[in-house]
Amino acid sequence: MKRIIEINNLYKSFGDVKAVQDLSFCVKEGELFAFLGVNGAGKSTTINIICGQLAKDSGTVVIDDKPLEEDVNTTKTKLGVVFQNSVLDKALSVKDNLRSRAALYGITGAEFTKRLEELSKMLSFEDLLKRTLGKLSGGQLRRIDIARALLHRPKILILDEPTTGLDPQTRKIIWNVIDKLRRDENMTVFLTTHYMEEAADADYVVILDSGRLVAKGTPLELKNKYTGDFITIYNVEEETVKALGAKYEPIKDAFRLSVPNTAAATKLIVENPEVFKDFEITKGKMDDVFLTVTGKALTGGAEK
């Protein structure tokens, strides 16, 4: 699979603050790539460098086989970016906002009308076109921001915490659209998020801490490396659980045991059939991975 973003030995400092330190990773075409870290970890700095909005101190950034510095303007046309805060004009209508943005890419007249119809249907905002942006709800505004980023059919969509604070229905609409674009147009999605269920669905994950890459891999690889398995036992007394000799914690109406891996879970169950009459085995979650790797909690949604 083609590498559409390649970053090698990237450094960026602001005075004494080392925002990004020797950062190297690649993103493959068409994948959902999750870029995780607490606030201040270096995520936004890296994104701003990729987008050509911030100069790097050293290192290389290659977008779609072309070094970023060779032709920043051409590279920018391959990117669609949704920032945490809207960059649209709240005094203008939805249609006028998108028309003015489309014109920057040379999309005008009938071409714009057709693209607007496609996006408004895709993101369910046909009834909002005449409404001024300042009168929209947070979820409505986010859908318009995403439409703005998709106007020119970018090869790479960068989403900086796109669903933070949104209602479940709007989040579902947004992710349905993203999944469709990845499937139908092989669009690459570069995601930062505080919602661990979104990171758990990624094809590949990179975790930053204090500007450095501290973990990378598929969600399954990271879970296997940095967390164990959990056995939740129901309808047992705590003394019975304690006698098993495994680390455990009481949870509502049950006890959760921590074991190194599935093999250890199987061994414990087979050796104690009288205890394990009502139980379930689950793998560690991305929350557990993040906490193990960084020692910090990444607050957000609950992972499914």
| Residue ranges per structural domain of the chain | 1-78+154-165+182-217, 225-294
Domains 1-78+154-165+182-217 and 225-294 alike in fold: no
Residue 40 has pLDDT above 70, yes or no: yes
In what side-by-side order are the strands of the sheet with 188-192? Answer: 79-82, 156-160, 188-192, 32-36, 204-209, 212-217
Q: Do residues 72 and 62 touch, judged by C-beta distance below 8 A?
A: no
Task: Identify the band that residue 279 occupies on the pLDDT scale cut at 50, 70 and 90.
Answer: very high
Percent of the chain as helix, strand, coil, to the nearest 5: 40, 30, 35
Query: What confidence score (pLDDT) does residue 169 get?
Result: 87
Radius of gyration of the chain (CA): 23
Nearest CA to 10 among 28, 26, 24? 24
What three-state secondary structure class fits 218?
A: coil
% pLDDT > 70, the chain: 98
Superfamily of domain 1-78+154-165+182-217, CATH level 4:
P-loop containing nucleotide triphosphate hydrolases (3.40.50.300)
pLDDT bin (cut points 50, 70, 90) of residue 39 is confident
The DSSP result for 161-189, as a single string, is STTTT--HHHHHHHHHHHHHHHHHH--EE
pTM for this predicted structure: 0.87
More confident: 296 or 53 = 53
Is the pLDDT reported for residue 48 higher than 90? yes
Supply the mean pLDDT for the chain: 92
CA distance 17 to 276: 53
Percent of the chain clearing pLDDT 90 (strictly above): 79
The DSSP letter of residue 35 is E
DSSP string, 219-250: HHHHHHHH--EEEEEES--HHHHHTT-SEEEE
Question: What would the pLDDT profile of 221-265 be if each residue is shown by its tens digit?
Answer: 999 899 989 999 999 999 999 999 999 999 989 999 999 988 999
225-294 under CATH 3.30.70, yes or no: yes
More confident of the two residues 75 and 10: 10
